[in-house]
Chain A
Amino acid sequence: MPLRGRPAPAAPDGRPGPARRHVVFALGGIEHAVPAQQVRHSLPADGEVGRELDFLGQTYPVVDLRSLFRLPGPPASTRLILLVEGDGVRAALVVDRLVDLVLLEAAAIVPLPPVFAGVERRWFTGLARLGPRILLVLRVEGILGAQSAPAAASALHAAAAAG
């Protein structure tokens, strides 16, 4: 799908802010955005994806975001790998598909509300409005440092479900 560069609506106060281009991808029907400057490449995820991926002499640990976020339902029939790099740490993010390329004003990204007080504060910079759409803006550095989070979060979910 061709990506279109188009601006997001201005910040609520109307002031122009520094805009950054973001890659929008879908995961479990939810749209996520990641700063385009942190995306190095995209590759089709054919078949089973290993634990690491070598690309142009660099090693990228694979992070299946569907698994990390514990999203319900089966994975998409065709998936995509985004090679990202933030703070000198690399990862290969497995996502469902690319959706868009947008400009987001810094002021248009609002932090998660205080009720979201868990590991999600590391995963996401905040939320961005794009017309009627809500984008979850990924914090790449938080994702890369969150490899041990799923077990703890799953335990919490299991306890809650049981009880």
Chain B
Amino acid sequence: MLRRRASQPATTPRRTVVVCALGAARFAVPADRVVELAPVAAYTPVPCEDPANLGMALHRDRLVPLVDLHPRLGLGRAGPAGPPGLCLFVRSDAGEVCFPIDGVVGLAPATDEGPGLPVLNLGAWGGFHG
């Protein structure tokens, strides 16, 4: 039977996050949830209760919900002004979603304490933690 020696430190799996920019805000997305980064030229608005849900984008023959992260980052609501532009596509527990961002700042290791940035919560898909 294999036993870890008491002196051996427990290893924490290193996860990587993608650091994104939206206006002046920075936030992190677990890299293993990122599907792709791609421009979105247009979308179909869907009237709905949550103002963060902008509508549906047709991307690579897939219908993907388009979500505005401004309200969740406390940046107010930018609104669906013009084409979404650069979007990050991610796998959430509620299915694939995409959201407009201004750019990717870089990659960073995530520790249990987080990278010091709000981390997009893709489990409940409702906000940020960290």
Q: What is the interface of chain A, defined by CB distance below 8 A to chain B?
A: 28-31, 68-71, 110, 112-120, 123-124, 127, 129, 132, 134, 136, 152-153, 156-157, 160-161, 163
Contact = CB atoms under 8 A, between A and B. Distances in A.
A161 B76 CA distance: 6
Interface of B: 44-53, 56, 58, 63, 65, 67, 71, 74, 76-77, 92, 94-95, 97, 125
A96 to B, nearest CB: 14
B94 A114 contact: yes
Contacts of B76: 161, 163
Contacts, number: 77
B58 A134 contact: yes
Given A120-B49, A129-B63, A134 B97 contact: no
Contact of A115 (B45, B51, B94): B94
A134 B65 contact: no
Contacts of B65: 113, 115-116
A120 B58 CA distance: 19
A82 to B, nearest CB: 17
Given A129-B58, A134-B58, A136-B44, A115 B53 contact: yes
A160 to B, nearest CB: 5
B47 A113 contact: no
B95 A119 contact: no
6 contacts: A110-B63, A114-B125, A115-B67, A115-B97, A117-B49, A127-B56
B63 A134 contact: yes
A120 B46 contact: yes
A82 B104 CA distance: 47
A118 B51 contact: no
Contacts of B125: 114-115
Nearest to B64: A113
Nearest to A160: B51
Given A113-B65, A116-B65, A132-B58, A69 B94 contact: no
Given A115-B67, A116-B65, A69 B47 contact: yes
